[in-house]
Chain A
């Protein structure tokens, strides 16, 4: 339990800072597996003693598996709200982990490409995260980690129902695979609703990355499988893969359509966003995410040679409240955050321009 969350702020996240297949549209790929100890109550019903034991056994298993190059351990009860929020913004923990739980723990590799939540909704939630669209590679990574853990942990497993999870919606493979997509073209041409309907029919879900009701923030969408039982991991991944490929093709078509038919509209959209980001002194979270989305589109389409896509990716992360506050070293009011956010964006873009 050595690492402090503020150490993470300037440490680059592999899934945002590195290149990956199709990363102009697909930002990242994630697969998580839900696993539990057999014969042990799930966190919702377990007594503290049993859950602390689960934590210690899990930590031992993770250490012995040597699956992580440089593991960082975080004892959740020792963290304050902003620190937990930081881990949430970095996708290392879920909302469920924000509620107080004496036995909750997180282990993550230094580059944050592999992580394990202990005593979340299930005893173990392990995830692998990579840049771009690469479900098979990510599956291999998490599958190996899972194998290594299963040699040390007696998993709750049933021949008919598969891996047993606290919520029946995760039964079977216990797998949720998802791809984060940046879809400004489809959003601008009003096709998101159609995409949603089509994916829903195929047993997949697509939702705004920043949660329900914030669909258009940053035009970031997460598409994932809903069903976890009745199909093998590869079947689920293949179906998700083919749908994501289709969405990527349509996003490219929409972008080309805009470029060919509505060029001044597109240039205006990107140019104004750049103006706000480069020269604003107060930027709300919503405005920042939406402007960054437009800038990212401009970068993808070759309108800015000085800004690279990974800089924009990282800004998406650093403009969020906990990142701003830990960088400032204190709690900030909403207005102070808007000032800090604008400053951070201005200076990041200015530095890029100077090169």
Chain B
């Protein structure tokens, strides 16, 4: 879709206005939206947060976010205690191990931020001819996480929270696979 103002660039910002009983949608490209925001004071009332919100407000994205919030709200990092709420508020993680605890939550965001999803650059230790140090998301951490989830699962079953239990069970299975992968990896190394 082309921008409603310049008719040249692709529209990436969609702003809904209610005029009388009619709902109007304005489709703008990044540049025209910025220019309009500077010129038009009524437009300025829409602060950046709102404009950004609008970018993602295509209904699907919003729904996805809601389910993501529900699904991820109980997740926390067992090393530092950082939780999903903390990540949502600050956009930051609490410690290196958080990347393990929040990986599923972060996967798509990481993909959107970067040109790839796998590191191909420098590895510490390699350029000095030493073997790279063991990655911090190692077996011990996975095992600790697994134990924690197992306890949560037991509690959920005891409390007859079966929906929650099912989510936890899937999570545990996933971790077990990962742990197995790590072990295979260790065998090869």
Contacts and interface: CB of A to CB of B under 8 A. Distances in A.
Interface stretch (B19-27, B114-122, B145-153, B163-171): B114-122
Nearest to A232: B121
B133 A155 contact: yes
B109 interface: yes
Contacts of B137: 158
Contacts of B95: 39-42, 45-46
B96 A36 contact: yes
B120 A231 contact: yes
Interface residues of B, number: 38
A146 B122 CA distance: 10
A166 to B, nearest CB: 5
Interface string B79-105: 111100010001111111101000000
A221 to B, nearest CB: 17
A38 B82 contact: no
A230 interface: yes
A231 B128 contact: no
B96 A147 contact: no
Interface centre among A44, A163, A230 (most CB of B within 10 A): A230
A151 B121 contact: no
A69 interface: no
Contacts of B110: 161, 168, 171, 229
A143 interface: yes
A231 B116 contact: yes
Given A42-B96, A162-B121, 14 more contacts: A45-B94, A143-B127, A151-B128, A155-B124, A156-B96, A157-B135, A158-B119, A158-B137, A161-B99, A161-B110, A172-B121, A173-B119, A229-B115, A230-B119
Interface of B: 31, 79-82, 86, 90-97, 99, 106, 109-110, 113-125, 127-128, 132-133, 135-137
- List the 5 closest A-B pairs by CB distance, nearest first: A230-B116, A162-B119, A45-B94, A156-B96, A229-B114
23 contacts: A38-B96, A39-B136, A41-B94, A44-B92, A45-B93, A46-B95, A143-B122, A147-B128, A157-B136, A161-B99, A161-B110, A162-B119, A166-B92, A167-B92, A168-B113, A171-B110, A172-B119, A229-B114, A230-B114, A231-B120, A231-B121, A232-B122, A235-B120
